[in-house]
Amino acid sequence: MPTAEIAPRVEMPMIGLGTWSLKDPYHSVRTALDVGYRHIDTAEQYGNEDLIGRAIADSGLPREDVFITTKILSRDVDRVDDIISASLAALRTDYVDLWLIHDPPPPGLSERLWGSLIRLREAGFARAIGVSEYGTSQIDAIIASSGVTPAVNQVRWAPALFDPVRLRDTTARGIRLEGFSGLRLADLDDLALVAPAQRRGVTPAQILLRWHIDHGVVAIPRTDSDRRIEENLDVWGFELDEDERRAIDALSTVRVAARACGPGCSLVGRVGTVVAPTGVPTGPGEIAVEGQLPLIAWSSELIAVGSIARIVGCRSSRSVDVVPEPRTDAEAQP
């Protein structure tokens, strides 16, 4: 299977199995390993590390042949050693291949948690370390504090969320983007996926996963179906041409609002919700927003899609539209 080098001598398979909320994690992981997967993604929060560890052990595969990712929640910043010890024991291994910060902590705590991951990587408990759902300036902050760049940023990634600026900025920093929830968040009946699938005799889901690969994005589809587990791995016999990739890219609902309210703007909801900027230069500025602000995703030059109705005012610049974004549930194929 093709891999991406995410750190010196650390190769990450480009397709892995996501395991959040699987009905039978042991069975699904055993099935995946039997059909050729060598990359399993889990997290302490999932509550399935023990079953996954048992499935990997029972597969008979050498430990070094299976790439294992797990994650730590930001709320556990003061329990790092306990969490990694518990994860390693449950997974029946002395190390993981990739350990991620599961969610961005508040400023200050992020740098402290990142320092703990660096320490445990240096102690041999993780071959590589990274983050999940970090904005570009959040990444820059932990790099500035430590001199260590994350190997991976794991984010929601689907045609509707295609963000070329985020992809560019991540790649420019030497970080591999890894996408989750791609199949759950995609319209698999869209002609941009159906047409190339019909031309090749494959499924729209396979086209979508190939789209990830062709952009250099690692994919970790999650499904309870044995058939789809095998199908999702069978994406190496074809590539998308440039027109097909562009047609899928064009499904993006990300609307660029570069420097929308000038340096350092913050979003202020009419209901009093404040979202601190993570991808805008420092300085004064404010945007007033209609509606709720449960989540805003940022990258270095734009405000990405978020659950807000419209940016209606800004002290230092023009108003812009922002398109609603799907929720952050686990990916699930029917």
- The 10s digit of each residue's pLDDT in 262-288 is 333 333 332 222 333 333 322 233 333
Do residue 209 and residue 278 come from a single domain? no
| Model pLDDT for residues 19-58, shown as the tens digit of each residue | 999 999 999 999 999 999 999 999 999 999 999 999 999 9
Q: Please give the model's pTM, rounded to 2 decimal places.
A: 0.79
- Cα→Cα distances 228→188, 205, 218, 231, 258, Å: 14, 9, 18, 5, 39
Same domain, 150 and 263: no
Looking at the annotation, which residues are catalytic?
A: 46
Containing structural domain, residue 298: 254-324
What are 85-101's pLDDT values in tens digits? 999 999 999 999 999 99
Mean pLDDT confidence for 221-237: 97
Per-residue pLDDT averaged across 51-78, rounded?
97
List all residues 6 or more positions away from 114 whose beta carbon is below 8 Å from its beta carbon: 101, 129, 131, 142, 145, 146, 148
100's enclosing H/E stretch is strand 96-101
For residue 302, give both structure tokens.
Answer: 């734009």
Q: Are residues 226 and 288 in the same domain?
A: no
Domain identity same for 130 and 269: no
Are 256 and 165 spatial neighbours (Cβ–Cβ below 8 Å)? yes
Task: Show which of 249, 273, 296 is a domain's final residue.
Answer: 249
Cβ neighbours of residue 177 closer than 8 Å, sequence gap 6 or more: 152, 153, 155, 157, 166, 167, 170, 171, 216, 217, 218
Based on the fold, state whether residues 120 and 166 are members of the same structural domain. yes
Q: Could you write out the three-class secondary structure of 273-313?
A: CEECCCCCCCCCCEEEEECCCCCEEEECCEEEEECCCEEEE
Please indicate, yes or no, whether residues 186 and 268 belong to a single structural domain of this protein.
Answer: no
Show the tokens assigned to 55.
């499935």
Q: Concatenated DSSP letters for 137-157? A: HHHHHHHHHHS---SEEEEE-
pLDDT of residue 108: 84
Q: What is the mean pLDDT of the chain?
A: 81
